[in-house]
Structure 1
Amino acid sequence: MIEKEFTIISESGIHARPATVLVSAVSSFECEVYLEYNGRNVNLKSIMGVMSLGVPNGARIIVSANGTDEDAAISAIQDVLQKEGLGE
C-alpha cells in the first residue's frame, strides 16, 4: 500500500468537476484507491463519495492505493492534481 499527502490549492476546493476528473483518472486502475480527509475515508472511484467529503481550499488530503498498479494510480492522481491546479 502506498499513501501520499496533498494540499488542495484550488480556490473552490474539490467540487463536482474536479471530483469527476479525479474519479476518471483512477477508474481504469485495478487497485483500490481511497481519499481521506478530516478523518473520513472514501473510495476515490466513487464520485458521490468524493463529493460527500466537501474538501475545501487549503485542505490536506491523503490518497492511498493498494494493489498491483498502485504506483501508477498514485502517479496519475498527482499528475491530475497538478495539471488541473487542484493540489500540490
Structure 2
Amino acid sequence: MKTTKVVVPWEGGLHLRPAADLVNVARKSNSSLTLRLGEKRASLRSIVSLVTLCATMGTPLVLEANGEDEERASQKIVQIFSHPQH
C-alpha cells in the first residue's frame, strides 16, 4: 500500500469539479484508491463519498493506494491536487 499526503488547493474546497476529475482517474485504475480525513474515508470511485468529506481549502488528506498500478494512480491523483485551477 502506498500512502501520500495531499492538501486541498481549491478555494471552494473539494467540490464537484475536482471530485469528478479524481473519480475519472480512479475509475481507470486497477487499484483501490481512498482519501482519508481523520477517521473519515472516501472512495475515489464515488463522487458523493468525496464531496461528503467536506474538505475545505488547506485541508490535509491522506491518499491511500493499493493494487497493481498504485504508483501510477497515486501520481495522477497527486497531479490533480497540484493544479488548483478548479
How do 1:7-26 and structure 2 match up within 5 A?
7-26=7-26
- Tell me the C-alpha RMSD between the 2 structures: 1.2
Counting matched residue pairs gives 85
Structure 1 stretches of 5 or more lacking a match?
none
Runs of 4+ in 1 over 3 A off after TM superposition: none
- Report Cα offsets for 1:17-70 as digits up to 9, x if no partner: 111111112211011000111320121111111011111011000111000000
Structure 2 stretches of 5 or more lacking a match?
none
Partner of 2:33: 33
How do 1:1-88 and structure 2 match up within 5 A?
1-83=1-83, 85=84
Secondary structure of 2:79's partner?
helix
CA distance in 1, matches of 2:5, 2:49: 18
Percent identity over paired residues: 26
CA distance in 1, matches of 2:49, 2:32: 14
CA distance in 2, matches of 1:42, 1:7: 15
* Contact 1:36 1:61 (C-alpha < 8 Å) held by counterparts: yes
Give the alignment's TM-score, normalised by structure 2. 0.91
